[in-house]
Amino acid sequence: MTTEESKEELGYDPLDMNNYKIEKLPVREKTGFEKWMARLGGPLAIITFVLLGFVINIPFLQNISPDNLSQSALKEYNDSEKVFKIVKISDVPEAQQDNFKNIKTKLKKKKKARSLKESQFNTDKLITDLKPTELKVWEQIKSKAFERKNALMLAIFLAAIILWITEAVPNYLTSLILIITLV
């Protein structure tokens, strides 16, 4: 008795994965509304990303106290390398721009001098040498960078949700875009 004959005798086998292939599903045509959603999904996702990421200030993402953060979030909050990548001189108020430049140059010089001795060096160890006014500015800059990161993550997530719902881009590509942008 071959396996073909045994399958015919048993009838339907619920454990046979060939019964569940996606190719067996009928292909459904999109309705007019779904076509419009697919056309508008891409531009709507881009507009949402730009507005939430760069234009609109979201109040619940601002003025986050470091005391309320988890250990992993606090580590991101204090990561000085990422702070300098996110916060630019134009983001700092004019009165504090000199302090920002001083902090940046001090940390870069000390890191360069120390990196010759140590392969891995955390610039947050150097913060202790800052003046009180510079330290206050540094805390404000870190807070601003953390707010910015959170706003951009929210913008990416909402743009991805719009792309998933409207199916403007195939779902597997939307997932890939989301993973790449968040990593």
pLDDT of residue 85: 74
The confidence score (pLDDT) of residue 120 equals 46
3-state secondary structure (DSSP) of residue 148: helix
With a CB cutoff of 8 Å and minimum separation 6, the contacts of 44 are: 162, 166
Residue 172 is assigned to a structural domain of this protein: yes
CA distance 38 to 179: 21
The burial class, CB within 10 Å (0-12 / 13-18 / 19+), for 78 is middle
Look at residue 20 and tell me if it is in a domain: no
11 found inside a domain: no
Share of the chain above pLDDT 70, in %: 83
Residue 22 covered by a domain: no
- 170 within a domain of the structure (yes/no): yes
Task: Compute CA distances 45 → 15, 48, 171, 172, whole Å.
Answer: 41, 5, 14, 16
Summarize pLDDT for 72-103 with one digit per residue, the tens.
Answer: 888 888 776 777 777 777 777 777 778 778 77
Residue 110 covered by a domain: yes
State the sign of the Cα–Cα–Cα–Cα dihedral 142, 143, 147, 148: negative
Which range has the top average pLDDT, 106-110, 142-146, 166-170?
A: 166-170
Give the number of other Cβ atoms within 10 Å of residue 169's Cβ. 18
Res 172 pLDDT > 50: yes
Structure tokens at 20: 């569940």
The rounded mean pLDDT for the chain is 81
Name the one residue in this structure whose structure tokens are 């390398």: 81
Confidence bin at 9 (pLDDT 50/70/90)? low
Is the residue at 19 inside a domain?
Answer: no
Which ranges of 12-79 does DSSP label H, i.e. alpha helix? Answer: 32-50, 71-78
Confidence of residue 119 (pLDDT cuts 50, 70, 90): very low
Q: Which residues contact 164 (CB under 8 A, 6 or more apart)?
A: 171, 174
Residue the block writes with tokens 């569940």: 20
**Of the candidates 166, 158, 178, 169, which has an alpha carbon nearest to the alpha carbon of residue 40?**
166
pTM of the model: 0.70
Residue 132 has pLDDT above 90, yes or no: no
Instruction: Provide mean pLDDT across the span 103-112.
Output: 74
Beta carbons within 10 angstroms of residue 63's beta carbon: 8
Tell me how many domains the chain contains: 1
Q: What is the pLDDT of residue 66?
A: 83
Domain of 182, in residue numbers: 69-183
Residue 28 lies in a domain: no
> Which of these ranges, 4-18, 23-37, 85-99, 106-120, has the smallest mean pLDDT?
106-120
